[in-house]
Amino acid sequence: MLAEAAHSLADTTNQTFLLISIGLAERPPDEGHPFGSGRERFLWTFVAAVGTFLAGAVFAIGWGAYELVNPARAETEFVLPFAVLGLSLLTEGFSWLRALRQTRREAREAGLGYGAYVRMSRDPNVKMVLFEDSAALIGIALATLGIGLQAITGVEFWDPLASVAIGALLIVVAFWMARDARYMLVGAAARPDERAALERALIEFPEVQEVRELLTLTLGPNALLVGARIDLADGLDAERVECVSDEIDARLREVVPDVTEVFVDATPPARD
- 3 φ, ψ (degrees, to nearest 5): -65, -40
Which pLDDT score, from 0 to 100, does residue 268 have?
58
Grade residue 227 by pLDDT with cuts at 50, 70 and 90.
very high
Q: Is the pLDDT of residue 55 over 80?
A: no
Grade residue 159 by pLDDT with cuts at 50, 70 and 90.
confident
pTM reported for the whole predicted model: 0.79
Which pLDDT score, from 0 to 100, does residue 132 have?
81
Tens-place pLDDT, residues 19-46: 888 888 889 888 899 999 999 999 988 8
How much of the chain is helix, strand and coil, in % rounded to 5? 65, 10, 20
Q: Which of 3-7, 43-47, 84-88, 252-256 has the lowest mean pLDDT?
A: 3-7
Q: CA 167, CA 175: separation in Å to the nearest integer?
A: 12
Cβ neighbour number for residue 150 with a 10 Å cutoff: 22
214-235: average pLDDT: 93
Tens-place pLDDT, residues 182-196: 999 998 999 999 999
Q: CA 259, CA 195: separation in Å to the nearest integer?
A: 11
Q: DSSP string spanning 47-111?
A: HHHHHIIIIIIIHHHHHHHHHHHS--PPP---HHHHHHHHHHHHHHHHHHHHHHHHHHHHHHHHT
228: DSSP letter? E
Q: Provide the 3-class DSSP secondary structure of residue 16.
A: helix
Query: What sign results for the dihedral spanned by CA atoms 8, 14, 17, 19?
Result: negative
Q: Is the pLDDT of residue 155 over 70?
A: yes
138-142: average pLDDT: 90
Q: Which comes out higher in pLDDT, residue 56 or 108?
A: 108
Contact between residue 184 and residue 122 where contact means Cβ atoms under 8 Å apart: yes
Percent of the chain whose pLDDT exceeds 90: 32
What b/e readout covers 237-264, taking b as 16+ CB neighbours within 10 angstroms? eeeebeebbeebbebbbebbebbbbbeb
Tens-place pLDDT, residues 160-190: 899 899 889 888 888 888 898 999 999 899 9
Domains of the chain in start order, with CATH, are 2-185 (1.20.1510.10), 192-267 (3.30.70.1350)
